[in-house]
Amino acid sequence: MTGRRTDGSRKPPLSWKRKLNLAVTVLVLCLGPIMIGVGSFMINADEELARSGVQATGTIIHFDDVTKASERRMQVEFPAGDGAVHRTFAAVDHDQYPVVGSSVTVVYAENNPGRAIVPGYESDGVWLRGAGVVLTVIFGVLGLLFVVLVGSAVLRARLRRRRTPQVV
């Protein structure tokens, strides 16, 4: 396609506003799948750490039992092989009720004790992947609805043009 219309004229180039709108639209449509990918990567990294990391016994030092799921987190303190005491956070599901002062198992990377997980509690990637799925569904349905509506409007306009007699 050469960019020419059927009457021989060229299509006008996109203005910067239209280019910006197009870029934002593409970004919004790609946001969900990107979040799914990053969340899955985080989950896989945590699963690998659970298999290959060093175990330590940690103590829950902070937990707020709030109703908002994204804020249900606990903080755990644990001693690592480097002799220092480290802290990590873990997402807490609504059916879990950790008690401050109780012991939990912590798994950390031997070469980087700051990278640690608490097995049995959610990875942060679970929330990210779930939010990505929700965004993908919402924007996918909206995009599909938009394509159907615009496509039917274009089809109706073409049919009207064919039905109206041409005056010479």
What pLDDT score was predicted for residue 53?
94
What pLDDT score was predicted for residue 151?
85
What pLDDT score was predicted for residue 81?
87
* Residue-level pLDDT, tens digit, the chain, 168 residues: 455 556 666 777 878 888 888 888 888 888 999 999 999 999 999 999 999 999 999 999 999 877 666 678 899 999 998 889 999 999 888 888 899 999 999 999 999 998 999 999 888 888 899 999 999 999 888 888 888 888 888 888 888 887 776 666
Rounded CA Rg of the chain? 27
Q: Domain ranges for the chain, please list them.
A: 16-132
Residue 115 DSSP one-character state: E
What pLDDT score was predicted for residue 147?
85
For the record, the structure tokens of 53 come out as: 């990391």
Sign of CA dihedral 142, 144, 147, 149: negative
What pLDDT score was predicted for residue 101?
94
